[in-house]
């Protein structure tokens, strides 16, 4: 009971602290950063780190705050509401695998380290084409979000992680822009010197990143619904607020229901994860949450455009920013179909007996 109280207090503080940096009422900064490189702000990054966000999940003896996924999801929700472009999800994944020696400069925000693990589209497992031999790595990895802003990369290899400085000879970075104003990097390593950092198994931090992404989407979903409701209450056509029309009301109810299911699913996954991190049940709960969040985010943001009518189709209106963000985040760390299948695999045994 006391734990629960402490947790809700911690969550409340996180939400409050987030409001200053992740201001959902001012998307001006987000607009200015769009389609620039690296697409986010190092000053804001340092502010975020000063709040302790990057170290949220780390144990206190490593300079962290020692909170669980419930708290992490609360933070991610706030970031998602305000569409923050800073690569917090990736950086959090990386600090989970970093060693003590490298942590201080990273969690202070001085040095940005992003994880490099993905080769296949819509995946949640480390690609196997990158080879690490005799202190050097070779191969290609892709979909590294905000890669151009990293000072170093933490690269997943067989049996662990190695650190590569961004300016290392033999490392080339190609970027492609994404709809939300950010970018993905494709990294090609040609005999790049790398140092072994840890043997942390990647499955746990990757699942946590998938859940964090679901929570970020949840925040975006809620904000999209609130913005759309505001519009329906104020936009007048045929002499009435259009929100008085039943056809539109029923659509909004269905969207709100999907959002409520997403909130329940993400909340459940975070609780289950905090009780039994890394168990099959916890991994299944993460997949359930990410599948729901990805599907709902696309549906809600898509319908929000329709409900806004013509103004929703302009780039000047902010509602479109939420659709573009969903287009990028819904497939990140595994899309809905991927997570449905992963859920089915993880619960195969359970479903044969329990239902």
Partner 1 sequence: MNLDRYRLDDYNALSDGEFRTLVSEFLNNHHPKGIINPPKRLHWDEAEPWYMILSQAGWLAPAWPREHGGMGLSAAKQLIYMDEFERFGAARTPDHGIMLLGPLLIRYGSDEQRAHFLPKILSGEHIWCQGYSEPNAGSDLASLRTEAVLDGDEWVVNGQKIWTTLAGDADWIFMLVRTDKTVKKQEGISFLLVPMDAPGVTVRAIHNLDLQDEFSEVFFDDVRVPKTNLVGEVNKGWTMAKALLGFERIFLGSPRQAAHALSRLRLLADHVGVRGEPDFEDRYTQLRLDLADHESLFEESADRLRRGETLGADVSFLKLNQTSLFQRITELMLDIAGEDGGLLEPIGDNRDLNPMGLFLTARAATIYGGASEVQRNIIAKAVLDLP
Q: For binding to partner 1 (CB under 8 A), which residues are involved?
A: 229, 232-233, 240-241, 243-244, 246, 249-250, 252-254, 256-257, 260-262, 264-265, 267-268, 288, 291-292, 337, 340-341, 343-344, 347, 351, 355
Nearer to partner 1, 193 or 267 (CB): 267
Residue 12 contacts by C-beta under 8 Å, 6 or more apart in sequence? none
Task: Output phi, psi for 151, to 5 deg.
Answer: -90, -25
Q: How far is the CB of 285 from partner 1 (least distance, A)?
A: 8
* Alpha-carbon gap, residue 103 to 179, rounded angstroms: 32
Nearer to partner 1, 190 or 345 (CB): 345
Nearer to partner 1, 118 or 294 (CB): 294
* Alpha-carbon gap, residue 329 to 77, rounded angstroms: 13
Kindly compute the dihedral angle of the four CA atoms of residues 336, 342, 344, 345, in this order, to the nearest 10 degrees: 170
Nearer to partner 1, 13 or 344 (CB): 344
Q: How far is the CB of 166 from partner 1 (least distance, A)?
A: 39
**Cα 59–chain centre separation:** 21
Find, among 143, 127, 123, 126, the residue nearest to 341 by Cα.
123
Q: What angle do CA 117, 96, 90 make, to 5 degrees?
A: 50
Residue 102 contacts by C-beta under 8 Å, 6 or more apart in sequence? 113, 163, 197
Nearer to partner 1, 10 or 291 (CB): 291
Q: How far is the CB of 224 from partner 1 (least distance, A)?
A: 14
E-assigned strand segments in the chain: 113-116, 131-133, 136-145, 152-157, 160-165, 171-177, 183-193, 195-198, 236-237, 240-241
Q: How far is the CB of 44 from partner 1 (least distance, A)?
A: 33
Q: Are 148 and 39 in contact (CB under 8 A)?
A: yes
Find, among 63, 74, 92, 85, the residue nearest to 19 by Cα.
74
Q: How far is the CB of 309 from partner 1 (least distance, A)?
A: 16
Q: How far is CA 96 from CA 64, 103, 169, 300, in A?
A: 11, 10, 26, 32
Nearer to partner 1, 316 or 355 (CB): 355
Nearer to partner 1, 92 or 232 (CB): 232
Q: How far is the CB of 343 from partner 1 (least distance, A)?
A: 6
Nearer to partner 1, 142 or 347 (CB): 347
Q: How far is the CB of 262 from partner 1 (least distance, A)?
A: 8
Q: How far is the CB of 244 from partner 1 (least distance, A)?
A: 4
* Alpha-carbon gap, residue 44 to 22, rounded angstroms: 10
Q: Count other Cβ atoms within 10 Å, centred on residue 43.
A: 9
* Alpha-carbon gap, residue 225 to 253, rounded angstroms: 10
């Amino acid at each position: 009971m006391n734990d629960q109280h402490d947790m809700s207090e911690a969550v409340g503080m996180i939400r409050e602290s987030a409001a200053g940096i992740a201001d959902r009422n001012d998307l001006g900064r987000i607009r200015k950063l769009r389609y620039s490189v690296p697409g986010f702000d190092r000053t804001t990054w340092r502010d975020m780190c000063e709040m302790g966000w990057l170290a949220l999940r780390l144990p206190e003896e490593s300079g962290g705050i020692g909170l669980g996924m419930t708290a992490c999801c609360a933070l991610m929700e706030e970031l998602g509401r305000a569409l923050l472009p800073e690569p917090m999800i990736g950086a959090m994944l990386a600090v989970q695998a970093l060693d003590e020696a490298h942590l201080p400069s990273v969690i202070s925000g001085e040095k940005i380290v992003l994880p490099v693990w993905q080769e296949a589209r819509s995946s949640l497992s480390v690609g196997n084409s990158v080879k690490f031999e005799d202190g050097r790595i070779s191969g290609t990895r892709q979909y590294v979000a905000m890669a151009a802003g990293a000072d170093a990369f933490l690269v997943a290899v067989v049996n662990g992680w190695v650190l590569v400085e961004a300016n290392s000879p033999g490392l080339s970075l190609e970027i492609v822009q994404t709809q939300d104003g950010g970018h993905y990097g494709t990294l090609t390593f040609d005999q790049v010197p790398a140092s072994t950092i840890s043997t942390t198994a990647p499955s746990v931090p990757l699942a946590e990143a998938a859940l964090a992404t679901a929570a970020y989407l949840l925040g975006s979903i809620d904000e999209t619904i609130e913005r759309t409701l505001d519009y329906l209450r104020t936009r007048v056509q045929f002499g009435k607020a259009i929100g008085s029309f039943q056809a539109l009301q029923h659509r909004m109810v269905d969207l709100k229901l999907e959002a409520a299911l997403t909130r329940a699913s993400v909340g459940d996954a975070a609780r289950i994860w905090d009780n039994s991190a890394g168990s099959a049940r916890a991994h299944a709960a993460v997949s359930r949450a990410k599948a729901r969040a990805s599907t709902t985010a696309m549906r809600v943001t898509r319908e929000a455009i329709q409900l806004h009518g013509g103004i929703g189709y302009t780039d000047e209106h902010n509602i479109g920013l939420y659709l573009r963000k969903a287009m990028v985040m819904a497939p990140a760390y595994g899309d809905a179909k991927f997570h449905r299948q992963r859920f089915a695999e993880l619960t195969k045994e359970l479903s044969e007996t329990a239902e």
